[in-house]
Amino acid sequence: MIAHNYQRDEVQAAADLTGDSLALSRAAADSDAEVIVFCGVHFMAESAAILAPQKSVILPRIDAGCPMADMITAEQLKIEKEKRPGVPVVAYVNTTAEVKALSHICCTSTNAVSVIDSVEADEVYMVPDRNLSHYVSLSTNKKMQWWDGFCVTHDRL
């Protein structure tokens, strides 16, 4: 059982491992366990399943969601891509598997600038976090556009 850092103390205490979503997904892929119980939100369990397709990943609360990840759907991204033909889409890892599948590449908050800079295009469209996108836009020479999603917790800061 793995638990995200945002889980309650009693859940973290029962977990074999705690950490951020990407570290936990990587740990799930590296684990010898055939079944991973992921105490987190939906996109985290999806990421673990993507990195470890041979394993069963169980999300104890199927309704556990991330408001920011839910702020853009695959259908909405398809519409945005039609408006910007040929513009690569960079998805923050905190998105659904459906949105990741429509994107050219994924990034984390730690590597977002280097990922954007690695894209072989002058223009990039980033989803879903406007705050991370704005931060990256200040650190790159790429022309950036982005979806107007946000983390409800971090947006209050």
- What percent of the chain is modeled with pLDDT above 90? 94
Residue 38 lies in a domain: yes
Check whether residue 26 and residue 49 sit in a common domain.
Answer: yes
CA-CA distances (angstroms) from residue 58 to 38, 87, 141? 6, 35, 41
Residue 63 lies in a domain: no
Q: What is the CATH number of the domain that holds 91?
A: 3.40.50.10800
Residue 15 lies in a domain: yes
Residue 64 lies in a domain: no
Check whether residue 48 and residue 78 sit in a common domain.
Answer: no
User: What is the extent of the structural domain holding 22?
Assistant: 2-58
Residue 125's DSSP bridge partners are: 89, 145
**What confidence score (pLDDT) does residue 29 get?**
95
Domain count of the chain?
2
Q: Write the pLDDT tens digit of every residue in 3-21.
A: 999 999 999 999 999 999 8
Residue 25 CB coordination number (10 Å): 27
Check whether residue 92 and residue 150 sit in a common domain.
Answer: yes
**What confidence score (pLDDT) does residue 154 get?**
80
Check whether residue 17 and residue 84 sit in a common domain.
Answer: no
Q: What is the pTM of this model?
A: 0.88
Q: Is the pLDDT of residue 95 over 90?
A: yes
